[in-house]
Structure 1
Amino acid sequence: MERLRALVGSVARTGSAALALIRGEAGIGKTVLLDDCAGHAGAAGFAVGLGKADELHHLVPLSSLMACLTHQDRPLLSDEAFADLSRGHDHRIWLVQHLAEQIEALAARTPVLIGLDDVQWADPLSRSVLAQLPARVRTSPVLWLLTRRPDASGEADEIFAAASRALPAVDVRLGPLSASAIAQLADDVLGTDVDEQVRDLLEGAGGNPFLAVELLTGLRSTNSPGEPVPTGLVAGVRGRLSALSPGTLRLLRIGAVLGRRFRFQDAVALSGQPSPAMVGMLDEAVRVNVLADKGDCLVFRHDLLRQAVYADIPPAHRRALHREAAQQLVTAGHQPIEAVSHLLTGALPGDEEAVLLLRRAADDVLPVTPALAADLLTRALELTPPQHPSGFDVGERAIVALTRAGRNKEALATGERLLARRPPPAVSSRLQAAIGATLWNLDRAEDLRRRLDATLAAGGASPETAARLRALRALALSRGNDLSAARADGEAALREAVAIGDREAHVQALFGLGETALNAGETAEALRLFTTLSAVDPAYLPEEVMACQHLDDFARGEHLLARATGQKEGSLREGMLLWSQGHQRLGLGQLDDAEADFVTVERLENEVEAPVHQVNARVVRSRIGLLRGDLAAARHDLVAARERLAVKPNPGNTAAVRFLEALHAGAADDHARALERLREVQRHDGLMRWRLLRTWVDEAVRIALRGGDRELAEDLAAQAEAHAARNPDVPTATGLAAQTRGLVANDVGLLGRSVTLLRGGPRPLNRAAALVDLGTALVNAGRRAEAVEVLTEARATFAESGAHAAAARAQSLLGRAGARARRASAGPRPSQGWEALTASERKVARLVAAGHTNRSAADLLVVSPHTVNTHLSAVFRKLSVNSRVQLTRVVAASEDG
């Protein structure tokens, strides 16, 4: 109690968050301790929200956390704050951000305590959110209190571990009472004359106060001291309730099936008795202190009481009651998901009504918790007889949900089992269309193409399914070499989709065509397609942004990003949006901001367990480290990229990592190894085939020339020229073509032309690299004065972007050109203190110190709140502060200084 009260004081005093996990077996006193701490915090001015997870409602998304935040006499948050729980692609990302903003705003007015009892029964979405929220609001005065049983699964430990990495976390373990304390309990209940038989019974309670009291109360209620004393809680509760009327016992059994908290009207409906007749039974149950009447619901006084009553119901009767409860809840207007727990207990194979309800519940929760939807549909599939026609429809839905949940191998295995039953052609084609997204996620493009060829050749698909299959085939072919076939299939699928009005096929066809155009280097056509696609589905706006970047139209890309930040969160794919924003910043030479975006992308993808960009994000971050001269960070990111490549080893990822390895080898002057890695990339379709590497082709040519492979250098230059021919109005494409040809030919004129072309584009790092190549050639040609001019510009451009290692190499070349030694420009920033902050981090620090929330700071900076959160995390780490109050003092001191 002292430790928890001290934590309350610490949160109030420092203005920063903390978390405590109270562990102990059922009945040991966790709830009492939680209530005491909440009462102490309330008296100290905290806004308090307490909730309890329910064993029989553990599937309802967010129900456990909602109990803490909204189910109070004075709720922390209003129901309106959760009115829209069916948002688009990245709902979980939106939800965590939305809750963080709501709690942050509340904590700006008063400290907050959020307590959840029995977290082991929390629903999956609440657990997922709780694993992220404490760290997300660590800069605000929020105390999180959780309780759990020791025999529970490890979700609470994961929440505790995640929090302890970011904020103070206290682990409170409650043990059993001493024998003397238990003896005092016996004296309180039975009087001082406690015989040895009773003492033997109490030893079985194991020091658990609740069990001891219930056993003693059961003993006292039997009024038969001479009879053998039952052992165990069930027997104790049975003895305690033996004097109740049969109707009251039935009410308690029905309540035990409905859950620890249930509505009286649901119990009445399930009993089949008229409501007036049940009132007396309710009064009796409350009078003996088993139930508590909370007005809007009835509650068992303790979980163990409910569990004891529940365990005393014969299993067959229990199953029947669960089945009836599910039907009654739906009839009474409850959401299907609220009845699912009963179905999972009471349904038997062949129960068509149960299958239908599971499907409805899965549809409801799919946008929120796809993993839960997948579990429900998998169970529905198990309940469906193998030869029943509806099994294929349920299975198709299960495949989609499993794929959305990232469980692609399970989705594929489910599809294979269904296809093994040899369904009719129309059904088989639908299953293959569902499996298509799974195979795409598994990077099995060639396998996907073969399946689609066979399915389309077999015929029998509906027009909608045929259009989807053809669109998927176009997408699969976009990864291969026959891009003309990919384009033909995509255009055919698009015509069919538009003709029949199938939106899914329409979106898939446009996406496949856009991917094909980008892979072919036809960037103008790619932009046209992705612009059309984002008009059909705004979630694909990031693809439009990326297409703008390939065309060097960064102004339009910036406009689209600003428009996206003003849209309703959740309507876009947040990870992909930040990926496109990161490349916008990288292209503009804003290395600090680009790195923050890529860090944020990885964090968001980890939170929703969807590792789409993990490999390439680390590749880019490692290259940024090399440009800065931070070799330790660059090597760390290289190792991380290799680890993530092992998980997602598609050709594009493999090419990116191999080229990164070439860059590292070149930085270490291991030219042979650098050349070996570059050749590996070139053997697989060529470096220019991979969009991420196209703006790095000049470095590839240098690696080839330093390694003595002029043939490879010629090949790379020819690829760059072919790409430029397809994009004659893109300065980066034409400039790189001239630059690479100038490097191969050692042609000062071509290198000068490349600089001129790149000046017309938006990419300062590419321009600076071309200036260095030109300056080197001028030095070698003895034109030192001209070399000094262009190398000075290159050094300044690199330094402005934070590419300090590249700037240092330009400075070294200036020395060779005979330039005067100059005072070294500012090198890499320190790792700690105000000077360690990037320009964006300083902006965020000043706004937060001025009282802005993450949301309002993001709105002012026209960036995502996720990006602000990443910047703020870096600010707190570099300044060694853990609250907004402390940050305000540091900012004030730095400004005064």
Structure 2
Amino acid sequence: MAVTTTVTTALHGRDPELTALSEALGSLRSGTGMVVLIEGSPGIGKSRLLAEAVRMAGTLSVRVGVGDADPAEAAVELAPLLRALFDGPALLLPRSALPVARGGPEQRYWLLQDLETLLEGAACEAPLVVCLDDLQWADSGTLAALRALPTRLASVPVAWILAARPVQPGSALADVVEQLVAQGARRITLEPLAPAAVAELASEVMAARPDQALLDLAADAAGNPFFLVELLRGLREERLVRIEDGAARLVEARLPKRVAAGMRHRLARLSESARQLAAIAASLARRFTVRELASMLGAPPASLLVPVEQLIEAGVFAEGADRLSFRHDIIREAVRDTTTVSARRALDRQAVDVLLAGGALPVEVAAQLATSAAPGDEIAVGLLKSAADALGPRDPAAAAELSCHALDLIPAGHSAAGPLVATTTVLLHAAGKTDDAEAFARKHLRDVVPVAEETAVSLSLASMFALSPDVRADAGRRALALRDLSDQDRVQHLARLAYNLVQAGRPSEAAEQLQRARLTIERAGDLAARSILRQAEGALRYVDGYFQDARTLHEQAMRDGFGPGEETREWVARQWRSELLAVSDRFQESLELISTGIAAANRERQAFALDFFETWRGRQLFQMGRLADAAAALEGRFDAAGNTPVVGALYAAGVVALGRVAIHTGDARQRRETAALARAMVAAGTPANRAHGGWLLALAAMADGKPADARAALDAARPGAAGRITPLYPMDVTDDPQLVRIALAAGDQRLALDTVDSAEERARRNPGIGSIRAAATHARGLLDADVALLAEACRLFEAAPRPIAHASALEDLGVGQLNRGESAAGVETLGRALVEYSEAGASWDAGRVRGRLRANGVRRKLVTSTRPNAGWAALTDSELTVVRLITTGLTNRKTAERLFVSPHTVSSHLRHAFTKLGVNSRLELARVVAEHSAN
């Protein structure tokens, strides 16, 4: 039942729940957000409790927005949330503040960013309360908002009070509830009213004290307030209760007809026109107008005045400001159950036409149309396709379902079948339902889609970066196997197949494909295809360690340009240049390029590119030894619950970087989460992703002192490779010493020797890159136990921008010196390693080095610029910059724009700053900043 601010009875038996609401609203005074989840069966009082929250907020002069989900709006993006924020007599946000939504697959991302910014700005001026009811019917956009906004806005005074029927395990709502509860939300489960509360409610409804017989009959309502009030009102209407001397005495111990007879008999007591009107209204939206009812009947509105009044008096309808509704969803559902399935379906279909005629969009009636249209309904087919097209960019799974419904309405051979099959195939892939998409394509694609359309579908899939590169490659292979494939389509598929094979971590197959494709593409003179092929060839040269060649090919590819619809590929190519700079130790240039990319992605509202650049930035910050900044950029970017797989080698490399940050900093929670992601990558990833997952698991096993497990992780990730997992794609050029260390600890001399040979070959191919030369020398020094080589590696690393790799080499050198009896030199070298680790924030490594020093009788008190764990001095430079900007009144987005990072990274820095300063809100943060400035 939708929440209303008008109530007819007091709230009984809910004192603990009211206390929880009071505490939630009280938290707003301290400047922090709060989430309260109210759960209970129909009629148990959820909406009534929300109405009480609205009243309580009003007494505190806090602005409230109220919205409710409607099952007919399942395909309407963010419908209940937008109602709460932008509708109603007291607007939480001005309607003009929300930018016009753009089309495209990232519309939802930017809409949520806009809502976050608007709510953040409004809450910094005055506290807000957002009440959302009936979330069991919420659309996927609203659920996405509830996953994100309460967490992001936790430091500003926004209270979220949410209500739903009992959450079904495994549902999308269950995932949201679980996340919110894990983050501190208060969960209230409404139980049946206790006997004392039943007696209080009976006293109020009867305006007299109920006798025991009446209370015994009231027990039939099982403590459900809605049914209890229905029972009591029915008893009064039928004079089954007599009021004497302030007491309500039961005259006859039977249920009143409005309860006992059921809805069908209850309606039978009304006029035929009223019964008909109720059935018609149940097919419209939850709130409806007399004009809509009249349109359904083809009658003038004036003719409905009497039956509408009858339905209101009978407690079936309720009257709102400008619309009618059923008094409760239970009543609406009961009325629908009184009509036959065929009649209900016909009324639902007619209601769609009425709503469309009143200005509704196809997507707003799509859910009802999908269940009510009959085969052969050409208009419904067109409307469902339009709705699927509109919904596809933001919710491809729901769009695919609508497209399938449209396909079910047309006969075989229909002219609309081909486009619908093509659209549905792409949507299923976009939704991540690869197996369903493959099965659907096998069943429908070849039968109904011409070669040209099938080729276009395959080309779309082969270019879809949200899909696994293996899936993209399979789409290309299928297209190339088609008869009558045009020359133009062939060169496009040849180029993409080579590229996707590289991205999947299949360099040998990619090289073969590239040789087959090169001549055909050159003859065709297709610059866009040649650009893709050069990107693939450059990536292969990168894998082989020819970094200058890789840069040259990349520059040539950029000059060739990109074809229509290749905007995402262009963003990826821009980002790849930053990697080619990073492997050459040109980190400053790389980060400047990334900052430019982030600014452009924000300006052009490209969420994919923004996420891409920030993930790459996090990887590079890790390699540069800026562990806190790397964590801020990377944490929260990957689905730790495992519902969304890691797609693409870049994101796999990002998981590894975050996992390595967790190892170096001793972050046990982050280690667990990244290890779970790594196991999933090994179990069901491309060869490139399996290698990244295995590498992280191997490093984690070594950190736990389990070299045998580390060696086994390498074999699991790349079976048959004898542990040779490097170079990864993309790579960290200082990985080889780590792999040599694993090999030696596991007693695998062959792997150690092969790894050293590979590292030295890479160094010969890149003589001017200090980190690569240092890593090769470090690896050889470990293999040969050569202290002189380890010292040379340290010298080379001193001039390179990779402090963690430098510290690792220093630690190995110090251990080597101690093993040779050079105690003074060993202690001095380990002290230098301790300084490097500590200044990078690698507390776990610093602890290990301190242990080595203690074992040699040295208790080193570190005198460096190392930050403490808490307090103002614990803030990193990046955190300090964010804190100062936020406390000037800037929102997260404005701060992100100033710093050329994403709002996600700003939120991470702010969260870390809160933890170090021991505050929970921006109000408290401002106080701490003011005190620090005064001192």
Establish whether TM, by shorter chain, passes 0.5: yes
Query: How far is 1:369 from its partner?
Result: 1.8
Note the alpha carbon deviations across 1:146-183, whole angstroms, 9 max, x for none.
Answer: 22234867655544432233335141515247564575
Is this contact kept in 2: 1:662–1:677, CA < 8 A?
A: yes
Q: 2:692 aligns with which of 656, 660, 669?
A: 656
Is this contact kept in 2: 1:327–1:339, CA < 8 A?
A: no
Tell me if 1:406 matches 2:422. no
Q: Distance in 1 between matches of 2:87 and 2:758?
A: 64
Counterpart for residue 603 of structure 2: 568
SS for the counterpart of 2:64 is strand
Moved more, 748-757 or 688-697: 748-757
Note the alpha carbon deviations across 1:547-604, whole angstroms, 9 max, x for none.
Answer: 4323433233222332244323741314323211101211221011112222132259
TM-aligned CA distance change 1:741 to 1:220, over 3 Å? closer
Query: How far is 1:202 from its partner?
Result: 6.5
Equivalences for 1:58-457 in 2 at 5 Å? 58-86=74-102, 88-150=104-166, 158-176=175-193, 178=195, 180=199, 184=203, 187=206, 205-211=221-227, 214=230, 230=257, 232=259, 235=262, 239=266, 242-244=269-271, 246=273, 249-274=275-300, 290-291=316-317, 294=320, 297-386=323-412, 388=414, 390-419=416-445, 421=447, 425-426=451-452, 428-430=454-456, 432-433=458-459, 441=467, 444=470, 452-453=476-477, 455-457=479-481
Is this contact kept in 2: 1:337–1:361, CA < 8 A?
A: yes
Query: How far is 1:314 from its partner?
Result: 3.2
SS for the counterpart of 2:402 is helix
Query: How far is 1:701 from its partner?
Result: 3.3
Q: TM-score, normalised by structure 2?
A: 0.80
Counterpart for residue 55 of structure 1: 71
Is this contact kept in 2: 1:477–1:485, CA < 8 A?
A: no
Note the alpha carbon deviations across 1:24-77, whole angstroms, 9 max, x for none.
Answer: 333343323322221221221111101122232232111011111111122112
Is this contact kept in 1: 2:698–2:714, CA < 8 A?
A: yes
Moved more, 123-132 or 280-289: 280-289
Q: CA RMSD in A?
A: 4.8
Query: How far is 1:406 from its partner?
Result: 1.9
Is this contact kept in 2: 1:474–1:487, CA < 8 A?
A: yes
Tell me if 1:556 matches 2:582. no
Q: Distance in 1 between matches of 2:476 and 2:714?
A: 34
SS for the counterpart of 1:733 is helix
Is this contact kept in 2: 1:256–1:309, CA < 8 A?
A: yes
Counterpart for residue 580 of structure 1: 616
Moved more, 347-356 or 89-98: 89-98
Equivalences for 1:691-840 in 2 at 5 Å? 691-704=730-743, 711-727=750-766, 729-740=768-779, 761-769=800-808, 796-804=835-843, 823-825=861-863, 837-840=875-878
Is this contact kept in 1: 2:461–2:475, CA < 8 A?
A: no
Unaligned runs of 5+ in 2: 1-14, 242-251
SS for the counterpart of 2:131 is strand
Query: How far is 1:663 from its partner?
Result: 3.8
Query: How far is 1:487 from its partner?
Result: 3.3
Moved more, 59-68 or 367-376: 367-376
Query: How far is 1:475 from its partner?
Result: 3.2
Moved more, 234-243 or 269-278: 234-243
Moved more, 363-372 or 874-883: 874-883
Moved more, 776-785 or 686-695: 776-785
Tell me if 1:885 matches 2:920. no
Moved more, 672-681 or 162-171: 672-681
Q: Distance in 1 between matches of 2:491 and 2:301?
A: 57
Q: Distance in 2 between matches of 1:614 and 1:19?
A: 31
Q: 1:624 aligns with which of 652, 655, 661?
A: 661
Report the AA paired with residue 586 of structure 2. D
Note the alpha carbon deviations across 1:315-372, whole angstroms, 9 max, x for none.
Answer: 2222112222223433444211112122122123343432322221111112222222
Note the alpha carbon deviations across 1:198-243, whole angstroms, 9 max, x for none.
Answer: 9999665445444455567678889999999646488458646844
Counterpart for residue 11 of structure 2: none
Counterpart for residue 246 of structure 2: none
Counterpart for residue 4 of structure 2: none
Is this contact kept in 1: 2:421–2:445, CA < 8 A?
A: no
Is this contact kept in 2: 1:697–1:740, CA < 8 A?
A: yes
Query: How far is 1:820 from its partner?
Result: 10
Counterpart for residue 865 of structure 1: 903
Report the AA paired with residue 285 of structure 2. G
Counterpart for residue 10 of structure 2: none
TM-aligned CA distance change 1:440 to 1:163, over 3 Å? closer
Report the AA paired with residue 47 of structure 1. R
SS for the counterpart of 1:694 is coil
Note the alpha carbon deviations across 1:622-651, whole angstroms, 9 max, x for none.
Answer: 4334445x3856864674355333553432
Is this contact kept in 2: 1:602–1:611, CA < 8 A?
A: no
Is this contact kept in 2: 1:16–1:139, CA < 8 A?
A: yes
Moved more, 49-58 or 79-88: 79-88
Note the alpha carbon deviations across 1:401-453, whole angstroms, 9 max, x for none.
Answer: 222222222222222222575865445545555665799945646xx757744
Q: Distance in 1 between matches of 2:662 and 2:219?
A: 64
Query: How far is 1:524 from its partner?
Result: 0.9
SS for the counterpart of 2:339 is coil
Is this contact kept in 2: 1:490–1:510, CA < 8 A?
A: no
TM-aligned CA distance change 1:883 to 1:809, over 3 Å? closer
Report the AA paired with residue 688 of structure 1. P
Q: Distance in 1 between matches of 2:73 and 2:622?
A: 47
Tell me if 1:460 matches 2:484. yes
Q: Distance in 2 between matches of 1:289 and 1:664?
A: 65
Q: Distance in 2 between matches of 1:26 and 1:287?
A: 22
Counterpart for residue 579 of structure 2: 546
| Aligned pairs, number | 886
Is this contact kept in 2: 1:582–1:593, CA < 8 A?
A: yes
Report the AA paired with residue 719 of structure 1. S
Report the AA paired with residue 559 of structure 1. E
Report the AA paired with residue 394 of structure 1. L
TM-aligned CA distance change 1:875 to 1:676, over 3 Å? same
Counterpart for residue 494 of structure 2: 470
Is this contact kept in 1: 2:640–2:676, CA < 8 A?
A: no
Q: Distance in 1 between matches of 2:341 and 2:667?
A: 65
Q: Distance in 2 between matches of 1:791 and 1:714?
A: 26
SS for the counterpart of 1:21 is strand
SS for the counterpart of 1:692 is coil
Query: How far is 1:278 from its partner?
Result: 5.3
Q: 1:519 aligns with which of 536, 539, 543?
A: 543
Query: How far is 1:145 from its partner?
Result: 1.5
Report the AA paired with residue 524 of structure 1. R
Is this contact kept in 2: 1:252–1:309, CA < 8 A?
A: yes
TM-aligned CA distance change 1:687 to 1:168, over 3 Å? closer
Is this contact kept in 2: 1:403–1:411, CA < 8 A?
A: yes
Moved more, 382-391 or 164-173: 382-391
